[in-house]
Structure 1
Amino acid sequence: MKISHLARLLFHSSLILLPETQGHPVPWDNTRGLIQARDALGYIEVELLNQDTGGYFTLPFGSQGSLNTLIVDTGSSDTWVYDGNSDDCRHNGCAQNNFFDYSQSTTFSKRNITDPFTLAYLDGTSVSGYYAYDQVAFGSTTLKEVPFAIVTTAPQSYVSQFVGLGFPEYASLAIKGGHVFPSIPQLFKSQGLTKRTAFSYWLNGNSKAGHVIFGGYDKSRVLDNQLFTLKLVQDGKWSLAAGKPLTYSVDFDSITQNGNTVTAKDTKYVALLDTGSTFSYFDQTTYDNIKKTLGATYSAEEDCDVLPCSAGDKIEFQFNFGKHSITVKGSAFIFQGYMSTCRFGVGVIGSKETHISLGIPFFRSAYTIFDQEAIEVQIGQAINDKDTVKDIAVIPEYDGVDDIEGEDALEWCSADY
């Protein structure tokens, strides 16, 4: 697995993420039927390739079905792939891994969007290209007229492609005052494939595959079918300017371990729920306490904090949202290093920063429904690493009545099979 130390720039006024580890996944065997479409039932299930660095889709782009593997990212709203014909793509290796050749697609269109696509990284590098439209297949279902960016200029070190599932107003062009493209969840609804602009995300612990279900969720993967509802909060200058939440950010109280508070005492946090972030990012106090609990130490040889790979096997943390909590295993914060040791999967945002990011370590234990219409998320303790009988509930049309924060999720109709 090739690892890049570039960090994505999240367009957030106060949350500045330090460089995170991004991985390039091994391509899927497309004959295994890992993508399932259930459009007749009002939902579409797409299975995730579960890797150390996060969850990935492998999706056919264009009429020729060019396979591309992309990180599924709730922390951004941009979807982009490499242009296989560009010089930068050939030089940095993406032409041997993931790319899109638009010249082979009869459904490709640039339309009249002349604004360039640009994303900057904290180390000074960036990716850039142009916007286009084409079809993207999800199993037997094809989503038409999908807007995405094609990257022609990229750094020498390979950066993974992304499929952004955030709010449309939070895309890189939109926050610059440019064109606002519909989000992928919106396209599923507008093309009659789902009833609501909502989807569920389940990584399945450390197993090989989880899923994203557009328009539904699998009740068999939620402990006791208990989901709690959190309203999204305005976070960042673009959200404040828009007068509504533009990110999946929620109020967050604390982390505890064996009754001891790990986060800074008497501090209220705002947490970004970011499936595109390999690590979770906290203030210095929280970082130090988790590091001490797991026994991580700094390694000059690897230039990062390392620890024994089995250090977190018997340790559990409670992530507290008001009266509700999610149990996260200590092992979720441990990633395979370059040598014989493992790497500590937590980053620092700032010494007293209250805007934090819950990345892949959190989602290995949580089942989450992201709802752009109700402007909320619903979270439950995930059932991982074992077989269950699927019990998929279709998320109904939004009736304009917000769920009450902290109450259990509504009982939605099921499609058992």
Structure 2
Amino acid sequence: MRNTLLLSLACLAQSTGALTLHERAQPATVQYDIHRRQGLSHARHKRSAPETDIDNEETYYAITLNLGTPSQAVEVILDTGSSDLWVNAGNSSSDNPYGVFDSSSSSTFKVVNDEFAIMYVDGSGAMGDYVTDTVAFGNVTLTDFQFGLAEESSTQLTTYTEGVCGIGYASNEYADLRNDEGYANLPEALVNQGYIKSAAYSLWLDDIDAGEGTILFGGINTAKYSGSLHTLPIQAEQGEYSELAVNLSGVHVTQAGKSISVNNTAFPAVSVLDSGTSLTYLPTGTAMDIIDAVGGEYYASQGLAVLKCDAARKSDYEIVFAFAGFNLSIPLSDMLLEASFGYCALGIAPESETASGGIYLLGDTFLRSAYVVYDLANNEIHLAKTNTNPGPDHVLEIGTGATAVPQVTGTPNTQTATAATATATGKSGSGSGSSGKGSDSDSDDQKENWAPALRTDFASLLVGVSFVALLLAL
């Protein structure tokens, strides 16, 4: 999860706003594709309305942006868990395979200040300047767009670092967290420059095994989901919205439609929908019970569980995520990540107290089975089951205002059997997590220079020497 600051969340706010959808011959949307990068160690994201393609790497989502005049192509991780766009400067590493931005070659480049800095909990980070320049993708060209230009960046996991395109709340920007003047990040800039009507977007993969998906800014595509969209209020902390987090009522396992008991005492709990996190992190008791139920073997040294791929893919287990009024059932086969030697890693892991601080994360292994609409303007999330065999696109524009969301039904997926569902319940109460931010005892210098965030890079675990040795020992 690439959060510039992972704040403690409490179940405090109930949102009353909703999407207004319009069918137009030429909807004000932006669509863009996303793409998968096998074996790499980041999370990539989708956008649309404008709509853009995204790469689904099983470990992250990625998009390509064109920066400056003339344009320079840079690949970045798409992250709903953070809010800043940052890229590597041209002098940081000229042979970076993700691309770098040479500001001296751009006639539209301007420096805002030298106060950009971000650090992730895994030890990676970036420092440099806040700058403005032209940013283009798909049919969009944003002028004077502010982003971070990293003169220095580091990673604990790979030789080269990849920039990040955060599309969360602007209140989660590094500048805003420093109490500096905030700025319009990508969703807000698309509104301000007339490309979309509202700061809202939908994200989906075209297929579980596909290398591509799409993010649609300012609209929804009813062909890409089955059934109805279910509305969940985004949870606020002390009246402020900073994370794309919802209340998760519980999680459990079914086999052939029969429920298997799972520890749900930690629920209901606030959980962040984060495309920048590869795995789905749940309360320890819940995660361990799920691992046991599906026949996985957990390795604490790696922080994940493994299963034999063939047997797991042929099984009739389903993982059921329960929300208020809506259950999303995901076949076990769709919660697996390819490892090696015939073994797969389960896409669910126990929370990491040192990394997530008790915040539960619905990462890519969850999101690739869900159609998600992120309505930042009205502080709502809309969820549906993704349709992996869609028909022709049917795009509706998201308008403005706080009227009720129409019951727009997605296209039935006739090639996929209806998943069995069951209600997962837990003890009443609110979930909360500790901040990814430094505690009050942190020094002022640390607070001024760095905004900590959590990043989970799954691919590095799969190719690490210790993990290979672990698999050979099985």
* Shorter-chain TM-score tier: 0.7 to 0.9
**1-side partners of 2:348 and 2:226: how far apart?**
26
Counting matched residue pairs gives: 368
- 1:50-71 deviations in whole A, cap 9, x for unaligned? 2211321112111222111112
Pick closer, same or farther for the CA change 1:397–1:301 going to 2, 3 Å.
closer
Q: CA deviation at 1:148?
A: 1.0
2:210 aligned with 1:207: yes
**1-side partners of 2:57 and 2:67: how far apart?**
22
5, 9, 12: which one aligns with 1:11:
5
Pick closer, same or farther for the CA change 1:357–1:347 going to 2, 3 Å.
same
Number of the residue aligned with 1:53 = 59
Q: Is the 1:227–1:409 Cα contact (8 Å) retained in structure 2?
A: no
**1-side partners of 2:278 and 2:117: how far apart?**
22
317, 320, 326: which one aligns with 2:319:
317
Q: CA deviation at 1:141?
A: 2.4
Q: Is the 1:24–1:160 Cα contact (8 Å) retained in structure 2?
A: no
Pick closer, same or farther for the CA change 1:11–1:134 going to 2, 3 Å.
same
SS of the residue aligned with 2:188? helix
SS of the residue aligned with 1:180? coil
Pick closer, same or farther for the CA change 1:355–1:302 going to 2, 3 Å.
closer
39, 44, 49: which one aligns with 2:50:
44
Q: CA deviation at 1:170?
A: 0.7
Q: Is the 1:8–1:122 Cα contact (8 Å) retained in structure 2?
A: no
Q: CA deviation at 1:212?
A: 0.6
Number of the residue aligned with 1:415 = none
2:70 aligned with 1:64: yes
Q: CA deviation at 1:325?
A: 1.2
RMSD (CA atoms): 3.0
SS of the residue aligned with 1:245? coil
Q: Is the 2:113–2:131 Cα contact (8 Å) retained in structure 1?
A: no
178, 181, 202: which one aligns with 1:179:
181
240, 244, 260: which one aligns with 1:244:
240
Q: CA deviation at 1:124?
A: 3.7
Aligned AA (2:164): F
TM-score, normalised to structure 1, is: 0.80
Q: Is the 1:294–1:311 Cα contact (8 Å) retained in structure 2?
A: no
**1-side partners of 2:235 and 2:143: how far apart?**
32
393, 396, 400: which one aligns with 1:393:
396
**1-side partners of 2:162 and 2:344: how far apart?**
22
Pick closer, same or farther for the CA change 1:395–1:304 going to 2, 3 Å.
closer
- 1:40-86 deviations in whole A, cap 9, x for unaligned? xxx32111112211321112111222111112111111111111212
Number of the residue aligned with 1:23 = 40
Moved more, 359-368 or 175-184: 175-184
Q: Which runs of 5+ in 1 are unaligned?
A: 1-6, 16-20, 28-33, 38-42, 413-417
SS of the residue aligned with 2:99? coil
- Equivalent residues in 2 for 1:212-231 (5 A)? 212-224=215-227, 226-231=228-233
Q: Is the 1:328–1:361 Cα contact (8 Å) retained in structure 2?
A: no
Q: CA deviation at 1:266?
A: 6.5
Number of the residue aligned with 2:273 = 273
**2-side partners of 1:253 and 1:393: how far apart?**
30
Aligned AA (2:69): S
Q: CA deviation at 1:355?
A: 3.2
Moved more, 328-337 or 291-300: 291-300
SS of the residue aligned with 1:56? strand
**1-side partners of 2:303 and 2:285: how far apart?**
21
SS of the residue aligned with 1:114? strand
Pick closer, same or farther for the CA change 1:125–1:380 going to 2, 3 Å.
closer
Number of the residue aligned with 2:380 = 376
Number of the residue aligned with 1:85 = 91
Q: CA deviation at 1:347?
A: 3.2
- Equivalent residues in 2 for 1:127-142 (5 A)? 127-142=126-141
Moved more, 116-125 or 186-195: 116-125
Q: CA deviation at 1:253?
A: 0.2
- Equivalent residues in 2 for 1:113-124 (5 A)? 113-124=112-123
Pick closer, same or farther for the CA change 1:349–1:22 going to 2, 3 Å.
farther
**1-side partners of 2:375 and 2:105: how far apart?**
35
Q: CA deviation at 1:387?
A: 4.5
Number of the residue aligned with 1:30 = none
Q: Is the 1:245–1:375 Cα contact (8 Å) retained in structure 2?
A: yes
Q: CA deviation at 1:256?
A: 2.2
Pick closer, same or farther for the CA change 1:97–1:374 going to 2, 3 Å.
closer
**2-side partners of 1:73 and 1:365: how far apart?**
17
SS of the residue aligned with 2:154? coil
Q: Is the 2:61–2:275 Cα contact (8 Å) retained in structure 1?
A: yes
2:359 aligned with 1:355: yes
Q: Is the 1:203–1:211 Cα contact (8 Å) retained in structure 2?
A: yes
245, 253, 256: which one aligns with 1:257:
253
Q: Percent identity?
A: 25
Q: Which runs of 5+ in 2 are unaligned?
A: 10-37, 410-474
- 1:267-315 deviations in whole A, cap 9, x for unaligned? 2110101011111111111220222133222469978532222354232
Pick closer, same or farther for the CA change 1:24–1:145 going to 2, 3 Å.
farther
- Equivalent residues in 2 for 1:329-368 (5 A)? 329-337=331-339, 340-349=342-351, 355-368=359-372
Q: CA deviation at 1:187?
A: 1.0
- 1:152-199 deviations in whole A, cap 9, x for unaligned? 112263333211000111112211211211121111111111111111
